[in-house]
Chain A
Amino acid sequence: MRDAARPYEDIVVAAPVTVPYTRHSIKSAHWFLAQALARLIGSARIRKTDIDGLAVSSFTLSPDTAVGFTQHIGLSPRFLEHVPMGGASAIVQLRRAARAVEAGDAHIVACIAGDTNHVDSFRLNAASFSRFARDAVYPYGSGGPNGSFALLTAHYMRVFGATPQDYGKLCVAQRQNALTNPLALFRKELSLQEYLEARPIADPIRLFDCVMPCAGADGFLVMRRAMAKKLDLAHARLLAAIERHNGYPDDPIQFRGGWALDRAALYDQAGVSPKDIDFLEAYDDYPVMTLMQIEDLGFCGKGEGPEFVRRHSFTTQGSFPLNTSGGQLSMGQAGAAGGHLGVVEAVRQLIGMPLGAQVEKARLGLVSGFGMINYDRGLCSGAAILAAPGGRKKRGKR
């Protein structure tokens, strides 16, 4: 095995903020991102100029990138990242920020993501999502991500025997989790029956398999533990993080993601194993991916996902708490902030300040990110293991 990445030295995540989501907005992405930054500063009780590192992700900031945004909000960071990786952006921002802070390239990095949602944003984004999508996917029904994930779902169901009931169980549980979350856009109870009979979107995907695109933003701060203590900030500790892009390129169709390539390194870096994880914030763009993450992050073997679903319960009080804020499926997907939603919820759970229900004795959380169906598969995958403040739970070196 090649040299493992260095463990993270006292890197913490603090000040989880959310700019409340709305279905549509006439505002710009700049507005939502600026609001996220303002909330970060307010929550951490720091000055804007204390932020010397910035990472930004957005689908609707064009023609600006992070660079234009710095001048828009009057920031002069010495570390700047524009991360265009969709739902994997949060994990990637976290990894970049952590190493920058470790190296002393920045002291406090603001990691933000957000998007507006105009009435035609979804169509315009889908129409020019990527070169391969424009050349080889969009002309085949212009279904956008719904069509692409439908193909992955149909294949997974056929090969591994997942049923609509399996997926429905996850969606119903997540909706249950959202009922106590005041920021969730969907807080009406969902029954399995309603899930199964919902309007088909792109067979076999139905209405409640799909996230609702919305406007909004999320953010968090990355700093050294000493800085968090100095600022008297509640925080979670970063134990480990992985990312992978264009994993398994020779698979004829995507049935596993990059996490499977790097999960050993993830748990090794954290010094824990899957059974030590108290809750999972998985990227739930569609339930087919949630199942894939459960398998590829080592909670069960490949193809054992359906059986795993049938054996467990996924509410905040269940045997396998999953997407405890309701996930994107019940909160909404604020564009590139979809992955930040998981980091922010994980930190809230670990510092004991969730928006909704609290996972009992939440000490270790795993956040997973995924994104960018460039052509026929999601290219970006990432995951991070966060711990509650206080003693590190470690099983000893291997």
Chain B
Amino acid sequence: MGSPVLTHLVSDIVAGRLRVVDLTHTLTPEFPPIVLPPEFGESAPVRIEEISRYDAGGPAWYWNNLSFGEHTGTHFDAPIHWITGRDQPNNSTDTIPLDKFIASASVVDCTCEAAEDADYLLTVSKLREFEERHGRILPRSWVLMRTDWSKRAGDPVAFQNFDATGQHTPGPDVEAVRFLIEERDVVGFGTETIGTDAGQAAHLRPPFPCHALMHGAGRFGLQCLANLDLLPATGAVLIAAPLKIRQGSGSPLRVLALVAA
């Protein structure tokens, strides 16, 4: 016996009453990878090595070998990615319970603040402001920080935004992260920038709070999201299932949002 919700889901999509929005950047070699100080091991950028293309290497077929780090492009962070999450149960991409991969999303518009200040930190008060307008953030939902930073993706210099003191990209402050975990029980936090944490988050206490605290609480992260400007503030349903990698700390993935047309 089928479920009427499922039947309607498919027919609404086909009829256009539901729209599927792609929140994913295309995987290309040019997409900037996360860059760490050189004494640390480096995450591989996307590399697409052609095996054959209807040629001597394979006359009737075209295919490639891909390589990339788990945290390249639009990608998912699992709790095992951070030291604080290493002992959490079901903490890798192959063991996370599947129901977590489908969740609703709140999109918090920080475009003005981010445009003024690349180091903008999302605060609790901004979140409360959001809730006043759009209602309480639902438990087991994604909170996505919209900054329109994805529009910089065509300009890797602007997207990374490095200077002599490091990277300058917006992200959440420590209290906002704590609030989302302890007061709102979110499933995870998502950003348009290269990391869920702000570019200068090494200087927060604890450093990299969105990694340290979120993953420490068994929650997830989404980075390099696109098209958040096409989502309503609330009500979108995200499908974000990372690759089932043995002990995977994360993976590039296709993040889809279902919204009313």
Any A–B CB pair closer than 8 Å:
no
B residues apposed to A, CB below 8 Å: none
